Copies of this chain bind each other. A is one copy, B any other.
Amino acid sequence: MSQNNHLPQSGEILLQRRARLLGPNVSTFYEEPLHLVRGEGVWVWGADKRRYLDCYNNVPHVGHCHPRVVDAICRQAATLNTHTRYLHEGILDYVERLTATFADPLSTAILTCTGSEANDIALRMGEAVTGKRGVIATDHTYHGNTSAVSQLSRTNPPPGGYGGHVRHVPAPDSYRPLGGEAGMAHAHAFAGEVERAIADLEKSGQGFSAIILCPYFANEGFPDLPSGWLEPMAEIVRKAGGIIIADEVQPGFGRTGTHMWGHQRIGLTPDVVTLGKPMANGHPVGGVVTSSDLMAAFRKSFRYFNTFGGNPVSCAAAMATLSVLQDEALMDNARSVGAYARDGLSKLAQRNECIGDIRGSGLFFGAEMVLDRNTKEPATNFANRVANEMRQRGVLLNRLGIHYNTLKIRPPMPFSKDNADLLLETLDDVLTAIPVVS
């Protein structure tokens, strides 16, 4: 591969223009940010004319620029685009098909434009049924960017503090489990933390409204947790009269290969489910799915109208995405290719000591980089170097997790075994080429 020791001029100019037009601290990926110009399936092309294998982006869920989704958007955009105060079949047909993928009583939905808007509503659903505001989240999560929702995030603490109504519990970590023991002992330890947080909220006068979590604990590093693992937590939450919000923005829409939804995979029945990123393959669509009772309580307490939410074009894009997912059997593909890729990672682990743990399901998997398999000391900077070196070699992935040392591999769903081979071969080269440092 030819090394670029400097940005192509267009990249430099774009970075200068970004600083001037968008302000400082606008994040980019990679030490050498990537200037993209085209996407198709699992591939993206840079302004440098190179093709990159996209092993990261879950927004183009059924593949970048899938022609059926593009066609649905074009046809509806040319026909009608308006808000839901007029009647239109698009939103109803979509919500009917979407809610059919959930178990009872999750049968009604609000469509929004972003996952952040969805979580912002979900928190108010908790307020509507409990009359209280206290919320519990993990200490390594992210649920979105509105004022209310960003207060849940420990990684970007709000300057004004957490407003007294947020409690954080330690993120589950199957590699370094709380109390030292994995499986159900870990589950009860987690539930115990939730119980203490509830008691603390009640004592503070805030009261307990809801726990919000990604049922796959994606940002936490997708720990390996068995079905039923969240049951002890759920019992405690129900007993306390709170609701459970499952943020499916990352594991939803079949990504884990075994189930359509992350909560189904872990055997949890949430009260509210929130949706976002992959829902319409990149068209701005999010949503909240809940029971009729909870929806009625929300709609009684809060009036809610979203001008763009549920418009005919957004619904056409979401419907096409769901249709492609089902017609092309992409959940099955995620299961088989994901298993194949994790097998390949296990083989890499045989000759690369830096791979401490391999986790994940379907097309959301990765490996935790460590300095020493006995001490499990995180190789955080090394993971960062790996991600950057992979990008230089034409494969896009990133890292996340409690110690930011877990490679995050979450490609578009049509990712094939050939694609996995390219990923694995490149990763093998990179792990061999660069020294393992902290």
Which positions in A face B, CB cutoff 8 Å? 11, 14-15, 17-18, 20-29, 33-39, 44, 47, 57, 59-60, 64-65, 67, 69-70, 73-74, 77-89, 91-92, 95-96, 99, 107-110, 113-117, 120, 123-124, 127-128, 131, 133, 145-150, 156, 158-160, 276-277, 281-284, 292, 295-296, 298-308, 311, 313-314
Contacts and interface: CB of A to CB of B under 8 A. Distances in A.
Contact of A81 (B39, B47, B116, B301): B39
B313 A283 contact: yes
A33 B148 contact: no
Contacts of A305: 27, 145
A61 B176 CA distance: 55
A269 B95 CA distance: 44
Contacts of A120: 146-147
A343 to B, nearest CB: 29
Contacts of A276: 307
A314 B280 CA distance: 14
A87 B34 contact: yes
A contact face: mostly helix, strand, loop, or mixed: mixed
B114 A25 contact: no
- Indicate how many identical chains form the complex: 2
A44 B14 contact: no
A307 B59 contact: yes
Contacts of A23: 108, 110, 292, 295-296, 298-299
Contacts of A296: 23-24
A156 B15 CA distance: 43
B36 A82 contact: yes
Contacts of A116: 117, 306
Nearest to A276: B307
Contacts of A27: 85, 303, 305
Given A80-B36, A95-B21, A147-B120, A284 B299 contact: no
A299 B21 CA distance: 13
Contacts of A96: 17, 21
